[in-house]
Structure 1
Amino acid sequence: MFSGLLSPIPLAARAVVFGVVAVLLLVMDLRQIVLQLPQRSQLIPQEVFARGMMRGGFRFGVEYGCGFRTLVPSAASSIAAAFVLLSGLPLTWAVALGAAFGASRALPVLQYILWGRPGWQAFLSSHTRSLERVGSVVTTALLAWATVSLLG
C-alpha cells in the first residue's frame, strides 16, 4: 500500500537512502546481543500451540501479523520494509515480497511439522541468534542486488 509513497523522489536517491538504512540496521543487528528496535517486546507464548500446530500456527500468524505481539528479533523484516517503501514497487510485487518473506520466516515451523525430528527445537534454540543474523545478512544482500537491478 505504501510502496509508491516516495515515488516522487528520484529512484537513485531512494536507493542511496535504502543502502544507508539497510547497512545501519544490519550493523545494529550484528553488533547487539539482542536487537533493540522500536517494537512491542512481547513474545507469543508457547501455549498458543497447545491445541495443535495448525490452530496454533493460525493464531500465531494472526497475532504476529496484526501487531498484537510483535517481538521481532532480527533486522531482516525492517530491512525488507525499508526496501518496499523506498523501491516504489507495484503493489503485486510488494505483496509477493511480503509473502516470500513470511514463507521464509515460517520455514522452521513447517520443517518441524513435516519432519518432527527429535532435537530440532534444541538445535534451533541454541543457534537462534546466529540464524537471525544470517537472515539479516542474506536479506540485505538480496535486496541490495534487487536495488542495483532496479537502477540498471
Structure 2
Amino acid sequence: MNVMETDRGEDISFTDEQRQLWDHVKALWEVARRREVEPVRKFLHRSYSGWVTGTDTPHDYEAAITSVGPYSPRVLRYRLKPLKVTVFDHEVGVVHYSYQAEVETPDTGGKSVAGRWTEVYKKDGDVWLLISVSGGPDGMR
C-alpha cells in the first residue's frame, strides 16, 4: 500500500460533481495524514459534529481539529474505497466509504486498522465543508 491508494469500487461511476466531492474526501485524508491542522479548520463547518464508533458521545469542531494534531495517532499510509457518493441539489453531499490504514502511536507502535465512514458535506461557494461524520474502526461498539 502506498501512502495513499484509492479503490474506485466496481459499481461506482461518478458524475463530475460526485468526483469533486470524492476528491475532497481524499484531500482531507491527506491533510490529516500530514497533521496539518490549519487546512482542516478550513474544511470543517463551524457547527460540525461527529460520532466515532465506540465512543459514548458525539464530538465537536475543536475535537475534530485535535484529532489530526501532533498528539493523535500518526497515519502512515491508507487506502480508501468509495461505496456511495450522493449529491443533493448541488449543495449537500453524503459519502460512504471504507478504509484501511497503518497507524502509529507512541504507546502501541504501528498497527493496521480498517473501518467505515459516512461523511456529510455542505457546499459553501465552491468548497465542500464537512458538517458531520459517523463511523470508525470495524469491530468497535
TM-score above 0.5:
no
Higher helix share: 1
Instruction: Give TM-score scaled by structure 2 length.
Output: 0.28
Higher strand share: 2
Greater relative contact order (Cα < 8 A, sep 6+): 1
Larger radius of gyration between Structure 1 and Structure 2: 1
Instruction: Give TM-score scaled by structure 1 length.
Output: 0.27
